[in-house]
Amino acid sequence: MGKTIAEKIIAAHIVEGEMVKGKDIGLKIDQTLTQDATGTMAYLEFEAMGVKRVKTERSVAYIDHNTLQTGFENADDHRFIASVAKKHGIYFSRPGNGICHQVHLERFGIPGKTLIGSDSHTPTGGGIGMLAFGAGGLDVAVAMGGGAYHITMPKMVRINLTGKLRPYVSAKDVILEVLRILSVKGGVGKIIEYGGEGVKTLSVPERATITNMGAELGASTSIFPSDEITKAFLKAQDREQDYCEIKADDDAVYDEVIDIDLSSLTPAAAMPHMPDNVKSVEAIGPIKVDQVLIGSCTNSSLRDLLRVAAMLKGKTVHPDVSVGIAPGSKQVFNMLAQCGALGDLIAAGCRILECACGPCIGMGQSPNSGGISLRTFNRNFEGRSGTADGQIYLVSPETAAASALTGVLTDPTTLGDCPPIEMPEKFLINDNMIVPPAPESEADKVEILRGPNIKPFPVTTPMEDDITAPAVLKVGDNITTDHIMPAGAKILPYRSNIPYLSQFCFKQCDEHFAENCKKAGSGIIVGGVNYGQGSSREHAALVPLYLGIKAVVTKSFARIHVANLINAGILPLTFQNEADYDSISQNDELALPGIRQAIENGDTVFDLQNKTTGKAIPVKLDFSKRQREMLLAGGLLNFTKQNA
Ligand code: MIC
Ligand code: SF4
């Protein structure tokens, strides 16, 4: 039987388990990446493991999220990460060098290799034919130490692309269409592979836009084949030697096939407040726009910004619209400057931001009250922009530029001819902002620089025999990690200070959550479907752990978050009958008597007792042997130490 692209890469990297769908498998990881908002914690965890030198082929630490330095905290974290990187064999991408996913694609990504990153958009690497997963920091730390990365062997979905995009329609419109079809939970447990004739009409950065935002489907990852286009991209990056061809076999078997005719697509937008709330720009109509932001790991490549510059050249942005541009990398920024496109953007009235995540994670540029903001980003969760009632629409660079000129949401295809852009044959290669690690012989001399904001992470304890705790919070469907542990300019600097962060936990859902947890001493959270979607931030598990959360009971979980809960030693349970969700009210007293024994026995269903109502509620404990052992040990760090 033929293999899919992902199956080929998995087969070449599997070190534990069998390639059977739904079963736990362990993969050898070739490369890792971290960013600063999750990196400080990941490196503290790496240090706690006591490994001297990373065992991967390439590990890179990026500084791109926490670059707004309104106090000492972020700069201290940058210095900490730089020193850890130098000591332990990790390349360090300095602040200003760009967004991790964009830089990694340009300078480090290799087709056929495995990559995990402490950021949910790591699947961007799928654009260059890598099997790339977003993961919690602890999983990345373990992979740096040479440990396998464990996932549930996913189902395979093929998206067959035919035809060619029309002028002014772009890769963002493709992934918005996929989101419209599949929804934010439609990719859970699946790898999305792209194939078909249409693939060869898309450049690597366009493919990367599509695999990047596959994260919003809840998919394990997304991947494109590696072909002549990939080769040309690597050649332009002076890395032709990294090329190898990878494609699915003709008789590869997929669990699901979706056909998309690229020529039929029109400009689309995801409306507030979910990335799958997609409509055509035409159907939404010419709503008045207050802000346009172009950038993020989804749409900040040279191709995207050259297109925007060509559309704005010689014109002025609408007087009522604030337009911000954040190039994805120093390479992109530098090339825009060299070819004059940067001048065109400045002349048109754009506000040029540094190459970093910036407004995507609420680091500045929050819109006005109730403001309508069009963004080329990937997430429009309520409040994420920093303005509680901000109305965020996710659009392509073309739609963003068109609307920046007219002041209303505008379908770019109505603007007449699309100005051509010329992509260079060679990119500008200058890796002077990537610091290589110290040679192993000098590693001992490198001093780790720790700022006062770095606080120890919460200790986990082995699973108790019985759990009794109140339902401290009951929430609905599609709760994001931004609900659980918000980000933004005011909170992000404290990513290495769990006690401080804890006061903001779930603030948007229940202002008194942290207080109530502290009063109760321990708690259980009750949730709906797709609980924990979005970011890979393990803080969404570590902070609840600090607040005494013992278990989370939901209708279903998002992939990375459930792994983070288990890594933290918090018990993730799912209702056997979804309707039982209704039988628990906030503050009910819940109990899991004999839970430790049940996990040891390998029980797959267990009764959760609602002591307030007297009802016994069957919940699923469906974990692999390794996950059960981790829960019993009190999380991955204890488990790794036990097995060391
Ligand atoms: C995000 O887009 O939400 C982030 C910020 O990049 C996160 C990581 C984090 O929370 O630090 C992600 O996507 O994993
Ligand atoms: Fe950064 Fe935004 Fe991409 Fe997250 S989604 S990595 S915050 S640019």
All domains of the chain in start order, with CATH: 5-262 (3.30.499.10), 271-412 (3.30.499.10), 467-642 (3.20.19.10)
- Per-residue CA distances from 227 to 5, 11, 191, 233, 423 (Å): 12, 20, 19, 10, 19
Per DSSP, the three-state class of 578 is: helix
Reported confidence tier of residue 360, pLDDT bands at 50, 70, 90: very high
Query: Residues 575, 599: contact at Cβ < 8 Å?
Result: no
- Per-residue CA distances from 543 to 505, 594, 614 (Å): 7, 26, 30
Residue 512 corresponds to which tokens in the numbers above? 């008194």
Taking 90 as the threshold, does the pLDDT of residue 459 lie above it? Answer: no
pLDDT of residue 641: 82
Find, among 577, 574, 586, the residue nearest to 610 by Cα. Answer: 586
- Tokens 């958009």 belong to 121
Chain CA centroid to CA 538, Å: 12
pLDDT in tens, 39-81: 999 999 999 999 999 999 999 999 999 999 999 999 999 999 9
Residue 522 corresponds to which tokens in the numbers above? 């321990």
- Per-residue CA distances from 443 to 49, 76, 612 (Å): 17, 21, 58
pLDDT in tens, 188-216: 999 999 999 999 999 999 999 999 999 99
What residues are in contact with ligand 2 under a 6 Å CB criterion? 65, 99, 119, 121, 296-297, 357, 360-361, 377-378
One-letter-per-residue 3-state SS of 294-354: ECCCCCCCHHHHHHHHHHHCCCCCCCCCEEEECCCEHHHHHHHHHHCHHHHHHHHCCEECC
| Ligand 2 atom nearest to CA at 37 | 7
Distance (Å) from CA 343 to ligand 1 centroid: 31
pLDDT of residue 588: 98
Mean of pLDDT over the chain: 97
CA 95/CA 595 separation, integer angstroms = 46
Taking 90 as the threshold, does the pLDDT of residue 460 lie above it? Answer: no
One-letter-per-residue 3-state SS of 420-439: CCCCCCCCCCCCCCEECCCC
Distance (Å) from CA 120 to ligand 1 centroid: 6
Q: Which ligand is nearest to the CA of 353?
A: 2
CA 554/CA 22 separation, integer angstroms = 19
pLDDT in tens, 270-293: 999 999 999 999 999 999 999 999
pLDDT of residue 30: 99
Closest Cα to atom 13 of ligand 1? 535
Reported confidence tier of residue 644, pLDDT bands at 50, 70, 90: confident
What DSSP state is assigned to residue 32?
E
Q: Which of 67, 304, 360, 381 to mutate to test the pocket of ligand 2 (most atoms within 8 A of CB)?
A: 360
Per DSSP, the three-state class of 619 is: strand
Q: Which of 35, 64, 99, 394 to mutate to test the pocket of ligand 2 (most atoms within 8 A of CB)?
A: 99
Query: Residues 385, 162: contact at Cβ < 8 Å?
Result: no
pLDDT of residue 456: 80
pLDDT of residue 642: 85
- Burial label for 18, CB within 10 Å (0-12, 13-18, 19+), is exposed
CA 118/CA 134 separation, integer angstroms = 6
Distance (Å) from CA 361 to ligand 1 centroid: 7
pLDDT of residue 66: 97
Q: How many residues does the chain have?
A: 644
Helix axes 204-212, 228-236, angle to 10 degrees: 100
CA 245/CA 236 separation, integer angstroms = 17
Distance (Å) from CA 558 to ligand 1 centroid: 14
Query: Residues 482, 535: contact at Cβ < 8 Å?
Result: yes
Taking 80 as the threshold, does the pLDDT of residue 339 lie above it? Answer: yes
CA 595/CA 579 separation, integer angstroms = 23
CA 406/CA 312 separation, integer angstroms = 11
Q: Which of 97, 103, 105, 357 to mutate to test the pocket of ligand 2 (most atoms within 8 A of CB)?
A: 357
Closest Cα to atom 1 of ligand 2? 357
CA 29/CA 16 separation, integer angstroms = 12
Residue 626 corresponds to which tokens in the numbers above? 């390794």
- Give the end-to-end CA distance of the chain in Å, rounded to a whole number: 38
Q: From start to end of 78-176, where are the E strands? A: 91-93, 114-117, 131-134, 149-152, 155-162
Residue 505 corresponds to which tokens in the numbers above? 């936990």
Q: Which ligand is nearest to the CA of 487?
A: 1
Residue 386 corresponds to which tokens in the numbers above? 């920093």
Amino acid at 216: E
Helix axes 302-312, 397-406, angle to 10 degrees: 20
Residue 489 corresponds to which tokens in the numbers above? 């300019």
CA 359/CA 172 separation, integer angstroms = 18
Sheet containing 149-152, strands listed edge to edge, beginning at the edge strand earlier in sequence: 14-16, 24-27, 149-152
What residues are in contact with ligand 1 under a 6 Å CB criterion? 37-38, 65, 119-121, 134, 361, 379, 487, 534-537
Find, among 290, 285, 267, the residue nearest to 407 by Cα. Answer: 290
Query: Residues 470, 584: contact at Cβ < 8 Å?
Result: no
pLDDT of residue 335: 98
Mean pLDDT along residues 114-126? 98
Reported confidence tier of residue 640, pLDDT bands at 50, 70, 90: confident
Find, among 356, 329, 352, 357, the residue nearest to 342 by Cα. Answer: 352
Q: Which ligand is nearest to the CA of 299?
A: 2
pLDDT in tens, 575-592: 999 999 999 999 999 999
| Ligand 2 atom nearest to CA at 119 | 6
CA 463/CA 457 separation, integer angstroms = 18
pLDDT in tens, 214-267: 999 999 999 999 999 999 999 999 999 999 999 999 999 999 999 999 999 999
pLDDT of residue 643: 82
CA 1/CA 37 separation, integer angstroms = 43
Distance (Å) from CA 317 to ligand 2 centroid: 25
pLDDT of residue 321: 98
Closest Cα to atom 3 of ligand 2? 297
pLDDT in tens, 367-426: 999 999 999 999 999 999 999 999 999 999 999 999 999 999 999 999 999 999 999 999
Residue 302 corresponds to which tokens in the numbers above? 């040279």
Closest Cα to atom 2 of ligand 2? 360
